[in-house]
Amino acid sequence: MRYKVLSLLGVGILVFVISSAPFAYGSVPALSLSDGSTSLVVTDNAVGDSLASVGGVLYTGALGANWNVTVSGLSKPIVGSAASPVMSLSISATSSGAGTLTIRWSDNFFGPTSAAVTDQTGSTLIGTASYATYADSANGLFAQTTLLTSQGPFGPGATNNTVLGSLSLGSPYSLTLDAVLSHTDSGTSSLNETVVIPEPCTWALITIGLVGALLVRRRGRTE
């Protein structure tokens, strides 16, 4: 009986450790949109954000005289966490003529993290698009201190691509996804970017916990 109790205790401790990931104190993600002459920043749960959930921003509307856009950004706690960041940016942009649109999706209070960075992009373009991901150890929104990944330019046409990078920072730090879309004529382009930074120690803790539980159970059978 005591070995079953020890086994359950070990699993309970494991669950507690895993669930005690860093909490995103003060985190307020935001979108930044600019066509070179008109700029707009939409903050989570503020004016312009039509997504009620905390951790995401959805903006639909005009930007300047040339662009109509629908842009969504997702971050923690909708996807990922402070210790295992996942950030997603989706863009549908229609222009009435030639122009360049820069959209940034940023969140902060991540970390600590030491892991690989996976940056996946997909797009259907009438022009060209470039992507980049940045980290900032000073935890500033939209800061572009350290380049983690870079892709493009792609297009016109359909594209899908994945690149890898690496990140090793304490907490807190910020992440920014940057997408630049250029049109030479009127039309609509769609872009998607997802950046995933898993926490290496999560699977290690799970493995250690399971092995420990098995050893305790095996010892109970032999005594």
99-134 pLDDT, tens per residue? 999 999 999 999 999 999 999 999 999 999 999 999
Residues 31, 55, 166, 121: is their CA dihedral positive or negative? negative
Averaged pLDDT, 14-43:
73
Question: What is the pLDDT confidence band of residue 5, given thresholds at 50, 70 and 90?
Answer: very low
Containing 113, the helix (H) or strand (E) segment is strand 113-125
Alpha-carbon dihedral 64, 66, 72, 73, rounded to 10 degrees: -70
- State residue 7's pLDDT score: 44
Which range (10-14, 58-62, 121-125, 210-214) has the least confidence? 10-14
Task: Report the side by side order of strands in the sheet with 157-169.
Answer: 56-63, 67-74, 86-95, 187-196, 113-125, 157-169
Q: Which CATH architecture has domain 26-198?
A: Sandwich (2.60)
Which range (26-30, 100-104, 219-223) has the least confidence? 219-223
Whether residue 19 has pLDDT greater than 80: no
Whether residue 144 has pLDDT greater than 50: yes
Instruction: Kindly report, residue by residue over 163-213, the tens digit of the pLDDT.
Output: 999 999 999 999 999 999 999 999 999 999 999 998 655 434 444 444 444
Containing 131, the helix (H) or strand (E) segment is strand 128-136
Q: Where are the domains of the chain?
A: 1-21+201-223, 26-198
- State residue 198's pLDDT score: 87
Whether residue 223 has pLDDT greater than 80: no
- State residue 12's pLDDT score: 43
pTM metric for this prediction: 0.79
- State residue 164's pLDDT score: 96
Instruction: Looking at mean pLDDT, say which of 6-10, 18-22, 209-213 comes out highest.
Output: 209-213
